[in-house]
Chains A and B, each alone.
Chain A
């Protein structure tokens, strides 16, 4: 028996429209010739040309990409070690540890950003690349651990012991047995870290060195003083790339028992 709820469906459509309409409009306007986003619609790619013809946006994008990659890499390395450690200390202690770690997600980034800035100022680090790097790594670390730790627990018990009985040292066991088993989760965690860091305005706003603008900061700066549709073009590219990454992450298996390529 299937009962129909027309209202539920209508509200759902409304909610989704509210979520996706602005994104749709941004993409639409990125192809509109009018610099003020007015109709009639006239197709053009000039905003994309403007975007790629150099300027601050391109530079900021490159900086953000490199920065996010470094942060994601660090988060994956630290996250892997953390998850391994959590498995060793047993489930109960690991649960406490996990909650502590997640506070980096639960505590508002606004608060965290200010707190870190105060701390860095006290220690003399101040606004710096290192400070920004540390702050963002802390914030994205829980995403890696949240994905990798359950994957580790799901691994076949004894496979690692079996490798040891076959003569493998603990390090070799990690590379040849443990890591291949959890690779989808590690990759998903890395992508999550990359995206969260790439989009993270708040932490970067507080911790970036003076004069240095990552992409979120550059966009904020541009929108504040004026608005050119090349930002629409950039936003459209970001939406497409983000959606692509999310699809990839879900293909890699968010806790699903599915391999990387098969």
Chain B
């Protein structure tokens, strides 16, 4: 249990600035996700926390103590790598015991801790198994157990689920979340998968081009993103460009007028609006705006639709039973919720 503070961390590889002035805090026991497209610097940031890379500037504080000058092995930071980085020439038990042996713990203690850790990741009794005999999901669990067995101050997870099948991945999301809550270890999790970040994190920091664009709780950042990048990165969006009409407190995009919550725009300023597909509600004609249903795609539980409103085509998604009576080509009512507007640079 420790608080992690990253203050003004920068890193360049040659000419290329990979991290610029990163500030991030993870409270004690908090699960923070670093979310961003590949190449945004999120793994580099993780490596500067672990000490695998040295930052050019800035400080990394654990409970107020600057660990920037310490070598990797003195930082007490656990890490799970994308490829798990297990030691193939050792058994599962030997992998888990590796760090405990370095700490010169007694044989009894090691045996007990290894057995407990395997219990925690739901692989009890697998001490003698060879790494090559494990499935991807099992290797993932062993890697996690090996990291948490040392009770590190901070746990770093580098895209730990990206190599797994979809089903196992969803299962592991719950598992990692559960283990993190049980152990209470402050965790930083790197991912490019918004679903993972939203499902698992207490706080999400969205990164782009070596900077943190926005951070906040998953619900807040999803429903009310403050930046255009965050809005477009999370969820499936309808993006509409137009101009701000200060008198009407709305945005005009051709024939379509959208009321905006945000009012800090100039009259006539170019703005962009993002509306998530699930906030486009298609109903009986007469409600809200008038549109024509142009496409309907049956997905089982859900139905994905396209509706034409005042010359704009909007994507919408609804539960199958709610949309059952809507037919393609019919006139429908369209209600829009949570319209997020941003100034266009």
Name A residues whose Cβ lies closer than 8 Å to a Cβ of B: 156-159, 161-169, 172, 176-177, 180-181, 259
Contact = CB atoms under 8 A, between A and B. Distances in A.
B78 A165 contact: yes
Nearest to A172: B102
Nearest to B82: A158
16 contacts: A158-B81, A158-B82, A159-B85, A159-B88, A161-B50, A161-B52, A162-B81, A162-B86, A162-B87, A164-B73, A166-B73, A166-B78, A166-B147, A168-B73, A169-B73, A176-B98
When A and B form their complex, which 8 residue pairs have the shortest distance between CB atoms, in order from nearest?
A: A166-B99, A158-B85, A162-B85, A164-B72, A158-B81, A167-B102, A165-B79, A180-B89
B81 A166 contact: no
Contact of B83 (A157, A165, A176): A157
B306 interface: no
Q: Is the interface of B mostly helix, strand, loop or mixed?
A: loop
Chain A CB count within 10 A is highest, among B81, B82, B147, for B81
Contacts of B98: 163, 166, 168, 176
Contacts, number: 68
B85 A161 contact: yes
Contact of A165 (B72, B82, B88, B89): B72
Nearest to B50: A165
A163 B87 CA distance: 9
B92 to A, nearest CB: 15
Interface in B69-110: 71-73, 75, 77-79, 81-83, 85-89, 98-99, 102-103
A168 B95 CA distance: 13
A167 B81 contact: no
A interface, over-half SS:
helix
Contact of B87 (A165, A172, A177, A259): A177
Contacts of A169: 73
B203 interface: no
B331 to A, nearest CB: 58
Given A158-B85, A162-B79, A164-B71, 9 more contacts: A157-B85, A159-B87, A164-B52, A165-B77, A166-B150, A167-B103, A168-B98, A168-B102, A172-B102
A182 to B, nearest CB: 10
A167 B99 contact: yes
A150 B333 CA distance: 66
B147 A165 contact: yes
A66 B86 CA distance: 39
A161 B83 contact: no
Nearest to A159: B85
Contacts of A180: 87, 89
A165 B143 CA distance: 12
A193 B103 CA distance: 39
A158 B147 CA distance: 14
B146 interface: yes
Contacts of A181: 88-89
Contacts of B79: 161-162, 165
